[in-house]
Structures are given as C-alpha cells and as structure tokens.
Amino acid sequence: MKRRAFLGLGTALVAASAVGGWTLTHHAPQPLLLSARDDGDGQHYAVGYRLDGSQAFATPVRERCHDVYAHPHLPLAVFVGRRPSRESYVLDTRDGRLLQVLASPPDRHFYGHGIFDAAGEWFYSTENDTRDPGRGVLGVYRLEGERLVRHGEHSTHGIGPHQLLWMPDGETLVIANGGIRTEADSREKMNLDAMEPSLVLLHRDGRLLSKEQLPEQMNSVRHLAVARDGTVVSGQQYEGDPLEKVPLLAIKRPGEAFQPFPLGEAQRQVMNQYTASVAIHDDLRLLAVTAPRGNRVFIWDLDSAELRLDAHLPDCAGVGAVKEGFLVSSGQSRCRLYDCRRSEIAMQPLTLPAGLWDNHLRLA
Amino acid sequence: MPRSRLAHTAWIPLLTALALAGCGDDSDPFQQASSALADHVLLPSYQSWAETDRRLADSARAYCAGEQNLEQAREVLLDAQTAWAALQPMLVGPMGEGNRAWQVQFWPDKKNLVGRQVTNLLKAHPQLTRADIENGSVVVQGLTAYEYVLYDEAVDLAAPQVKASYCPLLVAIGEHQQALAADIVAQWQAKDGMVAQLRDFPNDRYAEPSEAIADILRLQVTALDGLKKKLGTPLGRQSKGHPQPYQAEAWRSEASLAMLGAALEGAERLWNGGGQPGLRSLLGDDQQALAKRIDEAYARAREALVALDSPLGTLLADEAGRARVNEFYQRLDDVHRLHQGELAKTLGIQIGFNAHDGD
C-alpha cells in the first residue's frame, strides 16, 4: 500500500470511530487492548482485544514481544521485541495484518520498549550496542508510509536502558537505564557487582538534560509512568540481598529530585524485590504497580501516597489506565478491572482470555 | 486494611459480567478439589503446625525452668521443624507472602548469619525480651536460631550461666512462632479468609475455581523445586560436585532428611487429597496413565528417601552415600517435572510466565 492511500484510510477510520477520544459509554467504541501474549505451546502473538473479550486480532510473531505502542492517530502499533530480540513488528490494529518486521541494525538488539512521538512521525526504541555490550542506545526511526526506517541513534547515557516515555512537553524523553550489562543473544547479567542504574531526561535530539541515581547500586530502574503534570514514577528490580530494604518505587515530582516513593513496609516486603509495570491515572491521580513475584497489584494515591489497594493476583503483568480505573493482565489468571471511582475499589474479572499476557499492555 | 475494601457489588457499565460455567457450582471438579483441599489438607496442616508451635513455646519455658531436659526440648523442636516442612508445598495464602516464611526457617544461610546474629543479639541485649527479637532480623526469630541454640557446639548448654543467657531467646522465639502460627490460622479461618476464598467463587483473590487450583499447583511446584535446591545444594550441585553439608537446611539437628520427607508428604497430600478430592481428581478417565505415573513417582521418591538410613551429613561424606542421595534427588526431580510439565499442561495451568522474566 502506498503511503498516501494508507494515510487516507487511517484518517477515515479516525473520523469514523473517534479513536483517541473513546469513552466507555454505550454505543461508543471500546478501547483496544494491545499486548504481547503466548499460547500454551509457547507460540508468541501480538494481540488486540476489546474489553468485552472479543478478539480484534492475534497475529503470530517469531520473537516474544514485551511492550507495544500505538500510533497516535493511525491504526497501527509497534510490538517491540523482548530483549535480546532483533525484531519488532508493525501491525495494522484493525485486523492484525503484519505490515513490517522491523529488524534492528546488525550490532543492536531491542530491549522491549519503544514509543511514537505525538505527531506520529518518529519512533524511538531502547537498544543495546552489542559491540560495547550494555551501552544504551536510543534508536530513532521515521515512519515512511507504513514502514519504520532507521534514521539514526543517540546515547541513552547509561547501561542497559529499558522503558522510555515522553515528558508532557513532547520533546523530552525520560529513560530508565536499568544499569545491567547483557551481551548479544543473551539475558545473562554480566555486571551485578558494578551496575549503573539511572533515570535520564534526554531531549529528543540526543542532548542529556539530567541524570539521577538512587543510592543503591544494585537497584535496577526499569519501568516508568509519567503523569500529565510531569510527575515521573519508576519501578525498580533489586538484584542484591533479598532481605535488604531498598526503594522499589521512586518518584520525581516536577522540579524535585528523583527519590524513593513512600512505600509501606508490608507492601515493600511482599514485592520480593521486583516490580513489573507502572501506570498513572491522570484524572483520578492514582498510581498502579504490578509485582508478579509477590503476586500483588497495588494502587496508591499519587499525591498523598496513601495505599488504596493491595490485592492478590498471581503473576500480574501489564497495567493500564481506563476511565474507571486500571486494567491489569496476568501471566496466569484472568484480567481484572479495578474500578477506582469510589473510595472502595471494586474488582471485576474480565472475559478476556486468561493468562499468558506479557508484562505490558496498552489501550488504544 | 485496603484489601478488605474490595467489593464485588459495583456494576461496571458495558463490560460484560463473567458468566463462567462452574462459578459457585458444587459440581465443578475444580471447585470441589479446591474446597476439599482447603478443608481436609491445607487447614489441618496449618493447625498441626500451630499446635507444634504452641508446644514449642511451652517447651522453651519448661526447659528453661528445668522441667524438661535437652533431649525433650529437641524432640519438640523436631516436631515443629517437620510440621513446618510439611507446609512448604502449601504456602498458598498469607504465609507465602511478604517474606513471612523467613521468620520460621532461614535458608539458605551461606554465611552462618544465624550464628553471628544470635551472638550479636545477645551481646546487645543481655536481658533479651520478645520485643527485641520482634524488632530484630528475621534471622533470629525462627526455628533456625532455636536449633542453633539447642545444637551448636558454640553453645554449651550444660553450663548453667550459658543456658541462662540463651533461655530468654528460646522463650522469645517460641512465643513468636506460636503467635505467628496462631495469626496465620486465624487468617485461614476468618470470614472471607483463605478457606472461604478456596470454597466460594468469585472472591477478592480468585475469579474462579481454576485460579485457586492454579495458585495451589504453582506453589506446590515452587516448593518441589525448593526441595531439589535444599538437597542439591549440600550435594554440591551448585558447587561443581563438592558436597556442602553445612549448606543443608537444619544440618545442626540432622533433621534435613526428615524435613524433606515431611515436605514431600505434604506435596503428595495435595496431589491425592488424602482420600478427598485433590489435584489427582481433576484428571479425567483418559488421563489416568498420567495419574498413575505421578503416583509412582511419589512412591519411588518415598522409597529412595527411606533408603537413606543415615543423616545427610554422614551420607555426603562418601561416594556410596552421595550416590544414594543423588538417587533421591533424581526421584524428587521426577516428581517436580511431572507437576511442572505434564500435570500443569493437562490441567491447562500456566506455571509462571512473567514472574521470573527479569524485564
């Protein structure tokens, strides 16, 4: 398909279904849940589901994916290969058609996360420079028609970068440099005694704006959520002593330093030194975190840090904000909707397929 | 508590409510197995454990008052150790959460933290109270520290002053264990507690019975893997074949094999339900071949354990002994693999997907 034709179709679809402005009311389109999933035989898929359980698509893909990012106004999304994958997949989100297998350059592999800019013209992904293993690279791609074309790269100013997101200005990227060095085709951690995790703010042109670290060297900064006001929350995975008390969540409020998020001792303990996905609900000012090793979902008030939910969910995985609250997927159980609009949070299991959801989900 | 704030009553517009076959249906085999395991295997095992801890607390006081001798005190400890070991595959619910298990047994202890922390604790608090251990490290709160006092060469309990200096610790640990176990049993029996959550679906914890069974099986598989580590580490499987007898669980009291046996027995009770519906009951007529293989795997593991007629440390000292320990390891491995692989797959249960993902 030629670019013009594709764009035309996309625009028509945008107009017809008001994608991007959806609400969960009668007759309005439901959001499309995008995620990486497996089947029981270990086949990997890039999937899209409506929240009533109806499947939009389930496209088999060669490599297991991790995060996914939808184009801001075209019906396409990039499913990013999980490290150390050298492939990501561009899909048509209307029918799951595979538009492009995006290969990383020869000396790079994907780390599992990537994002479009607000205009939808550029795509950025975190990558490993396998000639200098662990050196964090920000891959820069341009959308040409229905294909992403590598345009260049910047340094992430850190080791083993993982998730990246936009700050509200749309020009500044926040990047979690996990600090762990891995080599090509491997998930083995090579530098646990010399980790260098950091939180970096980077202009999209590659300029380093700030780089901050938590005191604990083995506390890998991995996942992020950014609120509308620019508050950044990060989720950590601690590689050190399982009994050590370390901040597994950290926060950078506008104009403030990157610092531990006040976490109750009971919640910290139950996490088993491991957080997975982080999400912020902008309207309700809530923070949700999944801790799959502790099999728990947490929700806090973002401003007061008051605990709102501490619930059991085996192998909980992706979390995303919907109008009512948060949607949470699981590697093992049914997906849940946590309705947070009242002081008592109500949980509803969903009819989506149970289990085998990868660690991130996006709602488009 | 925020967890208890969850309510099911909210109607969420547009999202289709679950209409899952079998929810709250007494004829659903998953519901039957979950409920029966809660009533006939899990809760009774937790209650037995709590009872041994009640006796442990009594024993600590009696021993320190001179009303029990060391041998009697050690026997009561062994009961507590094996009752706890039997729970290893059953750590579904509160005891498996928040590092609580470390308050009971500290393993692996690669650097003899138990010995060092007990010594430091008593140095810092010569008049030790229960509050001192409650506020201290989990390392000094549990059976491993208790065992250290009753067995370690460094502690000469025959000397009255030495015994007097360690007794406050024994009493404090006994009371801590008793309180912990009683609290956990209460959480199992509470309204909307674990027993109810394994019986009535959906609930805050489980959307449907299959989620409860999946949770039970997953924790059983984790425990079976843990048993392999508890045997494999002293056997030298993580140290290029060099035996590490002091890396065994409960090496001081030579209770390692008794504990492994109790844990294996606990796993088997989850499997066969102890005469009531258990995991085995979920296999259909066409899956009886698998059921028999699992029965046999348990039987062979039991036989291999029975053949280990000396303490683990003794067996590890020579080649022939190590070969017999290795035989038991292989049989544990068979049990573990059958649960993690074929049983899970046959029951349609996913064992971990993201939890060890490291991304």
pLDDT at A1 over 60: no
pTM above 0.90, yes or no: no
The answer to whether A349 contacts B345, with C-beta atoms less than 8 Å apart, is: no
Chain B residues closer than 8 Å to A358 by CB: 353-354
How far apart (Å, rounded) are the C-alpha atoms in residues B94 and B197?
12
More confident residue, B248 or A24: B248
> B3 at the A interface (CB within 8 A)?
yes
Looking at residue B355, its pLDDT comes to: 66
Identify which of B207, B351, B354 has the shortest CB distance to residue A334.
B207
The answer to whether A344 contacts B99, with C-beta atoms less than 8 Å apart, is: no
Percent of chain B surpassing pLDDT 70: 92
Looking at residue B356, its pLDDT comes to: 65
| Average pLDDT over every residue of B42-46 | 98
pLDDT at A217 over 60: yes
Determine contact, residues A84/A184, Cβ cutoff 8 Å: yes
| Average pLDDT over every residue of A155-184 | 97
Euclidean distance between the first and the last CA atom of chain A, given in angstroms as a whole number: 23
| Average pLDDT over every residue of B98-108 | 91
Nearest in space to A80 (alpha carbons), one of A113, A105, A49, A47:
A113
Cα A263–Cα A265–Cα A269 angle in degrees, nearest 5: 105
Looking at residue B214, its pLDDT comes to: 96
Chain A residues closer than 8 Å to B16 by CB: 52-53, 351
| Average pLDDT over every residue of A223-246 | 96
The answer to whether ipTM exceeds 0.85 is no
Determine contact, residues A80/A65, Cβ cutoff 8 Å: yes
Q: A145 CA to chain B: closest CA distance, Å?
A: 31
The answer to whether A314 contacts B137, with C-beta atoms less than 8 Å apart, is: no
Determine contact, residues A315/A330, Cβ cutoff 8 Å: yes
CATH superfamily, domain at A62-213 = YVTN repeat-like/Quinoprotein amine dehydrogenase (2.130.10.10)
List the 79-108 stretch of B: residues with Cβ below 8 A of A.
97-99, 102
Looking at residue B238, its pLDDT comes to: 84
The answer to whether A347 contacts B8, with C-beta atoms less than 8 Å apart, is: yes
Looking at residue B240, its pLDDT comes to: 87
Nearest CA in chain B to A222: B359
pLDDT at B6 over 50: no
Q: B161 CA to chain A: closest CA distance, Å?
A: 33
The answer to whether B2 contacts A270, with C-beta atoms less than 8 Å apart, is: no
The answer to whether B214 contacts A332, with C-beta atoms less than 8 Å apart, is: yes
Domain ranges of chain A: 62-213
Tokens standing for residue A220: 């890998």
Looking at residue B310, its pLDDT comes to: 96
Looking at residue B7, its pLDDT comes to: 37
Chain A residues closer than 8 Å to B102 by CB: 243
Element (H, E) at A231: none
Looking at residue A27, its pLDDT comes to: 46
Chain A residues closer than 8 Å to B205 by CB: 311-312
**Highest mean pLDDT of the ranges A261-265, B11-15, B349-353:** A261-265
> How sure is the predictor about B90, in pLDDT bands with cuts at 50, 70 and 90?
very high
What would the pLDDT profile of B214-238 be if each residue is shown by its tens digit?
999 999 999 999 999 999 999 999 8
> B208 at the A interface (CB within 8 A)?
yes
pLDDT at A228 over 80: yes
How far apart (Å, rounded) are the C-alpha atoms in residues B146 and B55?
14
How far apart (Å, rounded) are the C-alpha atoms in residues B86 and B79?
11
Identify which of A331, A344, A359 has the shortest CB distance to residue B7.
A344
A interface test, pick of B9, B12, B183 with most A CB neighbours within 10 Å: B12
Looking at residue A4, its pLDDT comes to: 36
Name residues whose C-beta falls within 8 Å of residue B188's C-beta, 6 or more positions apart in sequence.
Answer: B42, B43, B46, B93, B94, B194, B195
Looking at residue B25, its pLDDT comes to: 59
Chain A residues closer than 8 Å to B18 by CB: 334, 348-351
Helix B256-272 and helix B209-235: axis angle, to 10°? Answer: 160
The answer to whether A333 contacts B16, with C-beta atoms less than 8 Å apart, is: no
Looking at residue A28, its pLDDT comes to: 55
The answer to whether A315 contacts B355, with C-beta atoms less than 8 Å apart, is: yes
**Collapsed DSSP state (helix, strand, coil) of residue A36:** strand
Chain B residues closer than 8 Å to A310 by CB: 1-3
Nearest in space to A99 (alpha carbons), one of A164, A9, A204:
A9
Tokens standing for residue B297: 């795997």
Nearest in space to A182 (alpha carbons), one of A155, A159, A211:
A159
Looking at residue B35, its pLDDT comes to: 98
How far apart (Å, rounded) are the C-alpha atoms in residues A362 and B88?
37
List the 104-143 stretch of B: residues with Cβ below 8 A of A.
137-138
Q: What is the per-residue burial (b if ≥16 Cβ within 10 Å, else e) of A174-195?
A: bbbbbbbbbeeeeeebbbeeeb
pLDDT at B260 over 70: yes
**Highest mean pLDDT of the ranges A20-34, A203-217, B1-15:** A203-217
More confident residue, B355 or A84: A84
Looking at residue B256, its pLDDT comes to: 98
How far apart (Å, rounded) are the C-alpha atoms in residues B232 and B244?
9
> A126-130, A188-192, B84-88, B336-340: which range is least confident on average?
A188-192
> How sure is the predictor about B13, in pLDDT bands with cuts at 50, 70 and 90?
very low
How far apart (Å, rounded) are the C-alpha atoms in residues B6 and B217?
25
pLDDT at B194 over 90: yes
User: Which stretches does DSSP call E strand in A191-306?
Assistant: 198-203, 208-212, 219-226, 232-238, 249-252, 259-260, 278-281, 286-291, 296-301
How far apart (Å, rounded) are the C-alpha atoms in residues A30 and A50?
6
Name residues whose C-beta falls within 8 Å of residue B84's C-beta, 6 or more positions apart in sequence.
Answer: B49, B52, B104, B105, B143, B259
Percent of chain A surpassing pLDDT 90: 89
The answer to whether B15 contacts A312, with C-beta atoms less than 8 Å apart, is: no
Summary mean pLDDT of chain B = 92
Summary mean pLDDT of chain A = 92
Percent of chain B surpassing pLDDT 90: 87
> How sure is the predictor about B247, in pLDDT bands with cuts at 50, 70 and 90?
very high
Looking at residue A40, its pLDDT comes to: 85
> B205 at the A interface (CB within 8 A)?
yes
pLDDT at A12 over 60: no
What would the pLDDT profile of A98-107 be if each residue is shown by its tens digit?
999 999 999 9
Identify which of A270, A333, A346 has the shortest CB distance to residue B98.
A270
pLDDT at A199 over 50: yes
Looking at residue B113, its pLDDT comes to: 94
| Average pLDDT over every residue of B249-257 | 97
In chain A, count H helices and then E strands: 2, 28
Q: A347 CA to chain B: closest CA distance, Å?
A: 6
Looking at residue B350, its pLDDT comes to: 86
What would the pLDDT profile of B276-328 be if each residue is shown by its tens digit?
999 999 999 999 999 999 999 999 999 999 999 999 999 999 999 999 999 99
Identify which of A53, A243, A309 has the shortest CB distance to residue B16.
A53
pLDDT at A10 over 60: no
